[in-house]
A and B are shown apart, each in its own frame.
Chain A
């Protein structure tokens, strides 16, 4: 049980929230490459020692999935849509359905003992979902990481450079890819994707 003061960073419905791509417009195109922004999800960074048993049991009971200890992997709770991703040996990224981050953070803080930290980074990054036959082509021309199937199976998640910007690339299932990008780079990534995706008749929904 930690004594850190936690406050609800989600404004109520009376305060207008703006996604990092709020000022950009959607692009209408075909179905070969569809990019959709999923704004306002709960993003938490959890740090702690991987051998801390309370950390593992708290994540299992609060999020409903095992804490991934295998590098470059993430696990998805199919029922709730929440996910936990390995970022480094002592750091994990939790992506939660919108509005749950305050409650989840409090529950985790109650159940984890020892040396740990939880930071709400939801305001600093946003998630894009990419699907369609041409996603592989878009990714492989935008980043240096090998996104071929033999190197990037379902369930893998890597932090790498996407169009020279820092981004996380994740593969939740065969059809979809996810891109977690920084808020400050969202506009740049949007422009990069719309430009790079033009040849694939991109559809971008913000």
Chain B
């Protein structure tokens, strides 16, 4: 059972209160009608599946019902940070490669 910190409620909650919503930071193309089929399919269907650091979108479904971001290690399941919508992650694969956790 994961123990997840909700950045809006400001405390750790049980995993059962949350739902994962897939990869975070997917930018919608600014002009969809200008996209090629390949670009549009890339946006709609293709997702990263990294071994290691993954930035994910989660929703606090039975709590405050806010979406937020989670940086999770896909091998150890360790959650390295959670941060609000619109914010940038502090822990990334690059920052870890440079010298451990920030």
Which A residues contact B (CB, under 8 angstroms)? Answer: 71-72, 87-89, 91, 144-145, 158-161, 164, 166
Point out the residues of chain B lying under 8 angstroms from A72, CB to CB.
9-11
State the 5 A-B residue pairs at the shortest beta-carbon distance, nearest first.
Answer: A88-B64, A144-B14, A166-B62, A161-B62, A71-B10
For the A-B complex with A71-B10, A159-B65 known, give 13 more contacts whose Cβ atoms are closer than 8 Å: A71-B8, A71-B64, A72-B10, A87-B64, A88-B64, A89-B8, A91-B64, A144-B14, A144-B17, A160-B62, A161-B14, A164-B16, A166-B62
* Size of the chain B interface, CB-CB below 8 angstroms: 13
Whether B9 contacts A71 by the Cβ 8 Å rule is: yes
Quick check: B64 and A160 within 8 Å, CB to CB? no
Identify 17 residue pairs between A and B in the complex whose beta-carbon atoms are under 8 Å apart, listed by A's number.
A71-B8, A71-B9, A71-B10, A72-B9, A87-B64, A88-B64, A89-B8, A91-B64, A144-B16, A144-B17, A145-B13, A145-B14, A160-B13, A160-B17, A161-B14, A161-B16, A161-B62
B41-67 vs A: 1/0 string, CB under 8 Å?
A: 000000000000000000000111110
Contact B66 A89 (CB under 8 A): yes
Q: Which residue of A lies closest to B65 (CB)?
A: A88
Assembly CA distance A52 to B13 (angstroms): 29
B10 to chain A, nearest CB (A): 5
Q: Residue on B with the closest CB to A89?
A: B8
CB within 8 A of B64: which of A89, A161, A164? Answer: A89
Contact at A159–B62, with CB atoms within 8 Å?
yes
Q: How far is the CA of A158 from the CA of B9 in the complex (A)?
A: 9
| Chain A nearest CB, measured from B5 CB (Å) | 12
